[in-house]
Amino acid sequence: MTSSSPPSFGDPPAWHDADAIRAAATEVLSRADYDLQRGAERPATEWVEGWLRWLTAPLRWLFDSMEGLPDGLRWLVIILLLILLVLLVAHIVWTLVSSLSTPRLGSLQLSSTKESRVLDPKVMEAEARQLASAGDYVGACRLLLQASLARLQQVRSRRFSPGLTNSELLREYAATSIAEPLKQLVRTVELKWYGDEPCLATDYERCEASHEVIRRTVQERHDALSA
């Protein structure tokens, strides 16, 4: 009996080769579908693109609605609308910032916290002199402004609104004889109290002179009304 050798199936296929397997795996993983970093960045990119599409949708609709007009005119309308939109947003932001940063009369405490009555300007004038003697010139200037407003309020038909800004106050008295003295007091308090400029004795002296002009003017007005 002759022995037969096992059948030969030839060389093993290439996929049995470890190097070939590694090469095939490297090729597969290098494809874009297996780029993990790119996949992580894709949602953020798509989110931004979605927002841009949403924001520009009205402009694209307007551009398409003007079909039939010259392209130059259509683009001109879109550009003008964008400029107006930017100006409107800038104005809104500026208004909000101004309303938050502009000093208001409500912060000057013209009324007593316990009673709804105007504080005595004579008391504030005396306190201002005491602060000035102690070297607190900025506090003294602020009290002089309070005293001036309290005296003005005595001859007004209505009280100052707590939401009234200093700029609005100056505009209200711009055409009167106390416009400059009042401006001196307001600007000093804005720069020295709300700002970071040092307040000197000369600043207090100017505010004291301005307050005296307002005090005399109000007194003359009060005497004329009482006569």
Q: How far apart are CA 105 and CA 148, in angstroms?
A: 12
pTM of the model: 0.52
All structural domains of the chain with their residue ranges: 45-101, 108-226
DSSP E strands in 81-158: the ranges are none
What pLDDT does residue 108 have?
54
Write 124-131 long-range contacts (CB < 8 A, 24+): 124/150, 125/211, 128/208
What is the pLDDT at residue 214? 94
Structure tokens at 103: 């000093």
Below-50 pLDDT ranges, the chain: 1, 9, 14-15, 39-40, 106, 109-117
**For residue 139, how many other CB atoms are within 10 A of its CB?**
19
User: Tell me, what's the pLDDT at 116?
Assistant: 39
Q: Which residues contact 74 (CB under 8 A, 6 or more apart)?
A: 63, 66
Among all chains, which residue has been given the structure tokens 């001196």? 184
108-226 to CATH, choices 1.25.40.10, 1.10.357.10, 1.20.120.330, 3.30.465.10: 1.20.120.330
Q: What is the pLDDT of residue 12?
A: 52
pLDDT, one tens digit per residue, over 155-179 is 887 778 777 788 888 998 999 999 9
* Single-letter residue type at 221: R
**What does the pLDDT read at residue 215?**
93
